[in-house]
Amino acid sequence: MIPVQGFSGQKVAVLGLGRSGLATARALAAGGAEPCLWDDSPEARDNAAAQGFALTDLTRSDAWHGVAALIVSPGIPHLYPEPNKLIARAMEAGVPVDNDIGLFFRSWATPDWEKMERTPKVVAVTGSNGKSTTTALIHHILKEAGRPTQMAGNIGRGVLDIEPGQDGEVVVLELSSYQTELARALTPDIAVFTNLSPDHLDRHGGKGGYFAAKRRLFAEGGPDRAVIGVDEVEGRFLANQMAEGAADDRVIRISSGQKLDGEGWSVFARKGFLAEWRKGRQVAAIDLREVGGLPGAHNHQNACAAYAAARTLGLAPKEIEKALHSFAGLPHRSQLVGERGGVRFVNDSKATNVDSAAKALQAFPKIRWIAGGLGKDGGIAGLVPYLNSVVKAYLIGHSARDFALELGQTPHEICETMERAVARAAEEAEAGEVVLLAPAAASFDQYPNFEKRGEDFTALVQALP
- Is residue 206 part of an annotated ligand binding site? no
- Is residue 131 part of an annotated ligand binding site? yes
- Is residue 128 part of an annotated ligand binding site? yes
- Is residue 180 part of an annotated ligand binding site? no
- Is residue 177 part of an annotated ligand binding site? no
SS (H, E, C) the chain: CCCCCCCCCCEEEEECCCHHHHHHHHHHHHCCCEEEEECCCHHHHHHHHHCCCCECCCCCHHHHCCEEEEEECCCCCCCCCCCCHHHHHHHHCCCCEECHHHHHHHHCCCHHHHHCCCCCEEEEEECCCCHHHHHHHHHHHHHHCCCCEEEEECCCECHHHCCCCCCCCEEEEECCHHHHHHCCCCCCCEEEECCCCCCCHHHHCCHHHHHHHHHHHHHCCCCCEEEEECCCHHHHHHHHHHCCCCCCCCEEEEEECCCCCCCCEEEEEECCEEEEEECCEEEEEEECCCCCCCCHHHHHHHHHHHHHHHHHCCCCHHHHHHHHHCCCCCCCCCEEEEEECCEEEEECCCCCCHHHHHHHHCCCCCEEEEEECECCCCCCHHHHHHHHHEEEEEEECCCHHHHHHCCCCCCEEEEECHHHHHHHHHHHCCCCCEEEECCCCECCCCCCCHHHHHHHHHHHHHCCC
- Is residue 341 part of an annotated ligand binding site? no
- Is residue 399 part of an annotated ligand binding site? no
Binding-site residues, in ranges, read 127-133
User: Residues annotated as binding site for ATP?
Assistant: 127-133
